[in-house]
Amino acid sequence: MKFLIITHVLHAKKEAKYLAYAPYVKEMNLWLKYVDKVTIVAPLLADKEIRPIDIAYQHDNIDFRSIPAFNLLSIKSILKTLLVLPVIFFKIIGAMRKADHIHLRCPGNIGLIGCIAQIFFPSKTKTAKYAGNWDPKSKQPLSYRLQKRILSNTFLTKKMNVLVYGDWKNQTKNIKSFFTATYRDSDKGEVLKRTLKNTIRFSFVGSLAPGKRPLLTIQIVEELRKRNHNVRLDVFGDGAKREELETYIAENQLKEFITLHGNVTAEEVKEVHKTAHFMMLPSKSEGWPKVVAEAMFWGSLPIVTKISCVPYMLDEGNRGILIEPNVSTAVEAIENVLQSPRKYQEKVDKAIEWSRIYTLDTFENEIKSLL
């Protein structure tokens, strides 16, 4: 099978290997186990520094076709886009013509072009992975809404499975509820049982960016402490908000129970999930937040805002705590669980049971069936 990937993900080349963002490549390597030849149409930046989080595709027959990266953030970038758009479009068309299976990665600018180009190949089998928020009621950029409309239109988009996070009502027949995974069946080790008697440990795992609301996480734990709960918070990740968070912690004398650890390895994150009572992620937007499923897998109860498919993951709060992005109401929801060890354990048990269905083994079998 000649398998084609259309993606906006930035790539680098080292010797004969092509590298990109590890979580994306790890997933694609599962697809590539079942194909003979791979063509990748994506931006390739010659001066891109290879980061520790970049890994290589695992396949012996890769045809990489470089296209320019672009955005629409300024007048200059819009004018540049108008010049490169025909080049990108016809490169994608040329690659699609030779492919047996077309795979689009959405949402993104390149994904939008791919959505339009695939219309001209109604007889070819296709998949699209929509890794963003598929919630029909959410406010999203125009390009995202266009991609969702094209992908959902079974007249324009034929012979395609569109893989989305969550289970949404009133969808066209080509929209398939999907997931992503981190652990294998063989990782299902024993879960450490926590009690709420001593120090209650909270974790935050993610980028320190405005969209993840790390400051809100700190303020929630701060308020819990003010209400005489014996809690502490460990923050893992880095980003633009780090300096602001350090200042806030220092000015409010929170160092005794809040620590910023910076970036750590995946293995260290796993150890955090194995011992923390709760994992908090009050994001503004998510697709399928892996860190939530990972925490559930090891018995760390997620506290997450009601966004995207998260209410589906948490079974409307039966497998975790759903909060509004507000300190007082969030604290009340958390206290409701802290005051009932039985309720806490019931939610943890349900979270473990559910998350351990969605392993890489199950994921790989689903991919195999799609191909």
Q: What is the CATH number of the domain that holds 307?
A: 3.40.50.2000
Confidence of residue 53 (pLDDT cuts 50, 70, 90): confident
**Is residue 319 located within the same domain as residue 170?**
no
Q: Does 238 share its domain with 303?
A: yes
pLDDT at 335 over 80: yes
Could you read off the pLDDT of 63-93 as tens digits, one per residue? 999 998 877 777 877 788 788 899 999 999 9
Are 174 and 195 in the same domain?
Answer: no
Q: Round to the nearest angstrom and report the end-to-end CA distance of the chain.
A: 9
Co-location of 69 and 206 in the same domain: no
Identify whether residues 170 and 235 lie together within a single domain: no
Mean pLDDT of the residues in the chain: 94
State how far Cα 41 lies from the chain centre: 22
Both 225 and 289 in a single domain? yes
Local structure of 111: helix, strand or coil: helix
Greater confidence (286 vs 362) lies with 362
Q: What is the pLDDT of residues 242-296, one digit of tens each?
A: 999 999 999 999 999 999 999 988 899 999 999 999 999 999 988 888 999 999 9
Concatenate the DSSP letters of all residues of 270-295 into one string.
HHHHHH-SEEEE--S--SS-HHHHHH
> In total, how many domains does the chain have?
2
**Alpha carbon distances (Å) from 369 to 18, 34, 96, 335:** 26, 10, 21, 44
For the stretch 209-232, pLDDT in tens is 999 999 999 999 999 999 999 999
Q: Which two tokens stand for residue 231?
A: 């809690």
pLDDT of residue 76: 79
Give mean pLDDT, residues 20-44: 95
Predicted confidence band of residue 364 (pLDDT cuts 50, 70, 90) = very high
Are residues 100 and 249 part of one domain? no
Question: Domain span at residue 295?
Answer: 189-355
On whether both 100 and 119 belong to a single domain, the answer is yes
Residues 231, 269, single domain; the answer is yes
For residues 137 and 57, the model is more confident at 57
Tell me the mean pLDDT in the region 324-345.
Answer: 97
User: Is the domain of 214 the same as that of 70?
Assistant: no
The 10s digit of each residue's pLDDT in 108-166 is 999 999 999 999 999 999 999 999 899 888 888 888 999 999 999 999 999 999 999 98
Q: What is the pLDDT at residue 52? A: 77
Name residue, tokens 């997620």: 302
Q: Are 7 and 110 in contact, with CB atoms under 8 Å apart?
A: yes
Q: Are residues 55 and 144 in the same domain?
A: yes
Instruction: Specify the DSSP element, H or E, that contains 248.
Output: helix 242-251
Greatest Cα pair distance in the chain? 65
Cα–Cα distance for residue pair 168/274, rounded to 1 Å: 31
On whether both 171 and 216 belong to a single domain, the answer is no
